[in-house]
């Protein structure tokens, strides 16, 4: 953990550069730009339950998840916790705050399982944006994608029926797949998905069990296979 020295950054880039380049926020960077960004980066390891930052702390960095899973949540005035997003391996979070008028994190960030992350300076990335128009377009596309995701989540949460919320969540996990029997893995524990959908874990498990009993899906561990796409899409 800590700032990377220049010689360490070169080795760091060699090992992890390919991983980062698969993510659109880094794919448009030249080798020199990526090395410069990584020289100011930090490697952070957090244990289960540990916080990266808490709601209303000053926002100076954004993060890339190398492994593990991070929960972003808000604490409501009555003390209850609302999960905003579950960020899994190879995903980023908090980058939108580079352009926000407020400089404070609107959510808390906590590891739901041991995690390793890269922490990047907002100021360093903004400096690269000013000199690389292609990077600006890539970031705009990412923010647009995140906006669509938030709109989809609002739509899901507006469904009063818990069954509809679970079904819609499952469908979003294989959007874009044309496989007859799509397969995907639940990114985190069922209780966390239930929290994101604002339903009880028991309710989530009960709905999943019913879908399995009716032959619409099959599950092995966290792996889900959709056996009947049409039935799932029209499930009541």
Specify the CATH superfamily of domain 6-142: Jelly Rolls (2.60.120.10)
pLDDT tens digit at each of 236 positions of the chain = 444 454 454 555 556 667 888 888 888 788 888 888 888 888 899 999 999 999 999 999 999 999 999 999 998 888 778 888 889 888 999 988 887 766 899 999 999 999 999 999 999 988 888 888 777 777 777 777 767 766 666 665 565 688 988 998 898 888 878 888 999 988 888 888 888 888 889 999 999 999 999 999 999 988 999 999 999 988 86
Fold assignment, 162-233:
Arc Repressor Mutant, subunit A (1.10.10)
Dist. CA 108–CA 185, nearest whole Å: 25
Strand partners, 45: 116
**Whole-prediction pTM:** 0.69
Residue-wise DSSP of 123-184: HHHHHHHHH-HHHHHHHHHHHHHHHHHHHHHHHHHT---HHHHHHHHHHHTTTT---SS-EE
Q: What is the pLDDT of residue 9?
A: 47
Token couple for 97: 């705050």
Instruction: Find all residues with CB under 8 Å of 225, minimum gap 6, and list them.
Output: 181, 182, 183, 217, 218, 219
Contact 217, 166 (CB under 8 A): no
Q: How far is CA 16 from CA 23, 92, 117, 173, in A?
A: 12, 15, 12, 27
Contact 34, 69 (CB under 8 A): no
Contact 83, 73 (CB under 8 A): yes
List where CATH 2.60.120.10 sits in the chain: 6-142
DSSP letter, residue 102: -
DSSP letter, residue 3: B
Strand partners, 86: 71
Token couple for 168: 């819609």
Q: How far is CA 85 from CA 56, 217, 226, in A?
A: 17, 25, 24
């Amino acid at each position: 953990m800590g700032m990377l020295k220049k010689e360490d950054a070169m080795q760091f880039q060699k090992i992890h550069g390919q991983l980062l380049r698969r993510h659109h926020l880094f794919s448009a960077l030249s080798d020199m730009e990526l090395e410069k960004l990584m020289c100011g980066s930090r490697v952070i390891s957090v244990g289960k339950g540990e916080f990266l930052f808490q709601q209303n702390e000053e926002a100076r960095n954004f993060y890339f998840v190398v492994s593990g899973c991070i929960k972003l949540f808000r604490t409501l005035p009555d003390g209850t916790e609302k999960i905003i997003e579950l960020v899994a391996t190879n995903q980023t979070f908090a980058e939108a705050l580079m352009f926000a008028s407020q400089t404070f994190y609107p959510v808390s960030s906590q590891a739901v399982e041991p995690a390793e992350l890269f922490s990047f300076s907002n100021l360093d990335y903004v400096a690269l944006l000013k000199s690389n128009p292609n990077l600006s377009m890539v970031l705009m596309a990412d923010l647009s994608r995140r906006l669509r995701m938030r709109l989809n989540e609002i739509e899901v949460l507006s469904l009063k029926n818990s069954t509809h919320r679970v079904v819609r969540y499952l469908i979003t996990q294989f959007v874009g797949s044309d496989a007859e029997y799509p397969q995907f893995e639940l990114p985190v524990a069922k209780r966390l998905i239930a929290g994101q959908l604002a339903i009880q874990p028991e309710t989530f498990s009960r709905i999943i069990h019913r879908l399995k009993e009716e032959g619409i899906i099959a599950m092995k561990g966290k792996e889900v296979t959709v056996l009947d796409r049409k039935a799932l899409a029209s499930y009541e």
